[in-house]
Chains A and B, each alone.
Chain A
Amino acid sequence: NAGVMQNPRHLVRRRGQEARLRCSPMKGHSHVYWYRQLPEEGLKFMVYLQKENIIDESGMPKERFSAEFPKEGPSILRIQQVVRGDSAAYFCASSPQGAGYGYTFGSGTRLTVV
């Protein structure tokens, strides 16, 4: 029973490139959440998705960031034209229903922008 799988674990991008972060939720989980942890800070909510729907994107920066959770395949967090300030650990979590009670987090993707 695999947990939440995130890949890649580490991603290095030059300024201006695109970063694509993938998250496969736990089997049977149809709710996916993305969080970002900047250095020396707590995790900050970015977006909550169900299959083919964005439910809450109140934590997403207005530009360059987008997320999707297609009918088939993993959830993708896409960051276009990355800047140094995007360097952070990005965590995905999944739950079987739309509540925070049963979150399971993945191990994260550490993005470094050089």
Chain B
Amino acid sequence: DQQVKQNSPSLSVQEGRISILNCDYTNSMFDYFLWYKKYPAEGPTFLISISSIKDKNEDGRFTVFLNKSAKHLSLHIVPSQPGDSAVYFCAVLTGTASKLTFGTGTRLQVTL
């Protein structure tokens, strides 16, 4: 029973263009969402988060949008850079606010 879904396993974007990564969740009670970035042979690193009281959070080139009615969030990276090539996981805070439930990830390839 997948509570957090990333339906696109991979995405290829040209350098300088916008990358849009999508994530859907099943439980309308979820209230805190995070995006992590992961390079091969490394642990995930925190990128950006959003609380359910907001619909947008921005940090430099990264913006996360939350659509609560659709139970959907997206990560926008603009402009995309080759160093952004990695696997991106969305996650929700569940349980007693101590447990992260991750999606299966989207592999982003930024081409020259």
Contact = CB atoms under 8 A, between A and B. Distances in A.
Interface stretch (A63-71, A73-81, A102-110): A102-110
Contacts of A33: 98-100
A104 B46 CA distance: 8
B105 A48 contact: no
B100 A105 contact: no
A42 B104 contact: yes
A42 B105 contact: yes
A99 B98 contact: yes
A88 to B, nearest CB: 14
Interface residues of B, number: 26
A62 B98 CA distance: 21
Nearest to A47: B99
Candidate in B45, B93, B98 with the most chain A CB atoms within 10 angstroms: B98
A48 B95 CA distance: 11
A91 B91 CA distance: 15
B100 A108 contact: no
Interface string B35-47: 0100001111110
B97 interface: yes
B98 to A, nearest CB: 5
A21 B7 CA distance: 32
Given A42-B105, A43-B89, A100 B45 contact: no
A84 interface: no
